[in-house]
Amino acid sequence: MSNLALLKEPKQRKLLFSAGLSWMFDAMDVGMISFVVAALASEWALSSQQVGILTSTTSIGMAFGAAMAGFLADKYGRKSILLWTLLIFSIASGLSALATGFIMLCIFRFIAGLGLGGELPVASTLVSESMPVKERGRAVVLLESFWAAGWILAALIAYFVIPNYGWQAAFLIGALPAFYALYLRRAIDDSPRYLEQKKVVRLGLGKRIASVWSPEFRRTSIMLWVLWFTVVFSYYGMFLWLPTVMVDKGFSLVQSFQYVLIMTLAQLPGYFTAAYFIEKLGRKFVLVTYLVLTAISAAWFGIADSVGSLLAAGICLSFFNLGAWGGLYAYSPELYPTRVRSTGVGLATSFGRIGGVIAPFLVGVMKGNGVRIEVIFLLFFVTILIGAFSVLLLGKETKGVELAD
Written as one string, the DSSP assignment of 235-258 is HHHHHTTHHHHHHHTT--HHHHHH
Could you tell me the residue ranges of all domains in the chain?
2-394
Q: How confident is the model at residue 5 (pLDDT cuts 50, 70, 90)?
A: very low
pLDDT at 2 over 50: no
User: pLDDT over 90 for what percent of the chain?
Assistant: 22
Q: Select the highest-mean-pLDDT range: 63-67, 237-241, 261-265, 378-382.
A: 378-382
pLDDT at 3 over 50: no
Nearest to 331 by CA among 316, 317, 352: 352
Quote the pLDDT of residue 7.
52
Q: How confident is the model at residue 10 (pLDDT cuts 50, 70, 90)?
A: confident
> Region 196-212: what's the mean pLDDT?
72
Q: How confident is the model at residue 203 (pLDDT cuts 50, 70, 90)?
A: low
Q: How confident is the model at residue 130 (pLDDT cuts 50, 70, 90)?
A: confident
| Distance from C-alpha of 378 to C-alpha of 380, rounded to nearest angstrom | 5
Quote the pLDDT of residue 405.
60
Nearest to 70 by CA among 124, 143, 137, 144: 124
Nearest to 122 by CA among 184, 202, 183, 172: 184
Q: How confident is the model at residue 1 (pLDDT cuts 50, 70, 90)?
A: very low
Quote the pLDDT of residue 298.
93
Nearest to 237 by CA among 353, 135, 388, 68: 353
Q: How confident is the model at residue 216 (pLDDT cuts 50, 70, 90)?
A: confident
- Residues 349 and 117: beta-carbon distance below 8 Å: yes
Quote the pLDDT of residue 8.
57
- Residues 69 and 79: beta-carbon distance below 8 Å: no
The CATH architecture annotation of domain 2-394 reads Up-down Bundle (1.20)
More confident site: 342 or 317: 317
Query: How does pLDDT run across 42-75, given as a tens digit for each residue?
Result: 788 888 778 878 877 888 898 898 888 888 888 8
For 272, what's the count of Cα atoms within 13 Å in the CB-facing half-sphere?
A: 13
More confident site: 55 or 218: 218
Quote the pLDDT of residue 53.
84
* Lowest mean pLDDT across 119-128, 257-266, 284-293: 257-266
* Lowest mean pLDDT across 33-47, 318-332, 380-394: 33-47
Q: How confident is the model at residue 392 (pLDDT cuts 50, 70, 90)?
A: very high
pLDDT at 38 over 70: yes
Query: How does pLDDT run across 339-373, given as a tens digit for each residue?
Result: 788 888 888 988 998 888 888 888 888 888 888 88
More confident site: 372 or 264: 372
| Distance from C-alpha of 301 to C-alpha of 209, rounded to nearest angstrom | 40
CA 70 to chain CA mean position, Å: 15
More confident site: 198 or 176: 176
| Distance from C-alpha of 24 to C-alpha of 148, rounded to nearest angstrom | 7
The pTM score is 0.78
Does an H or E element contain 376, and which? helix 373-394
Residue type, 360: P
Q: How confident is the model at residue 112 (pLDDT cuts 50, 70, 90)?
A: very high
Quote the pLDDT of residue 12.
81
